[in-house]
Amino acid sequence: CFACQVDGDNPRIRDLDRIVRLCRQRGWHLVLNILPDNEQQMAELVGPELVELVRRNGTFVERRYSVPGVTVVNNQGIVADADFRDRDYPTEHYRQAGRQAIATALAAAIR
């Protein structure tokens, strides 16, 4: 969630709660992948407060859903500014190095 603080009342969090319940009922292992935002550009355009807000949201999701049967991979901060392909903010389109960093983190978490 971008530019708002998430909590248990957020509609997207309630959606995730339902997804987690469904996966438990069906015996599926769920992997949540928090994609990185361009924190450097975010800080330059808006300020460090927004970077901190986005990080707190990622931490909230990690803490809420790091339970048996759910793997949360928080990739915030692992992609450098130079590895964001699109320059119109916000974006999650990465150059090869950024995609590789995310894939490596996901693979390690799944193993």
pLDDT at residue 2, rounded to an integer? 60
- Written as six digits, the tokens of 1 are 């969630």
pLDDT at residue 70, rounded to an integer? 96
Distance, in Å, from the CA atom of 104 to the CA atom of 78, rounded to the nearest integer, reads: 11
The DSSP letter of residue 81 is G
Which residue in 43, 60, 44, 76 sits closest to 4, CA to CA? Answer: 60
Residue 55 neighbours by CB distance under 10 Å: 15
| Secondary structure of 11-47 in HEC code, one letter for each residue | HHHHHHHHHHHHHHHHCCCEEEEECCCCHHHHHHHCC
Can the peptide bond before residue 68 be classed as cis, meaning omega within 30 degrees of 0? Answer: no
pLDDT at residue 86, rounded to an integer? 76
pLDDT at residue 90, rounded to an integer? 66
pLDDT along the chain (111 residues), means of 10: 83 96 96 94 92 95 94 95 80 88 95 88
pLDDT at residue 93, rounded to an integer? 87
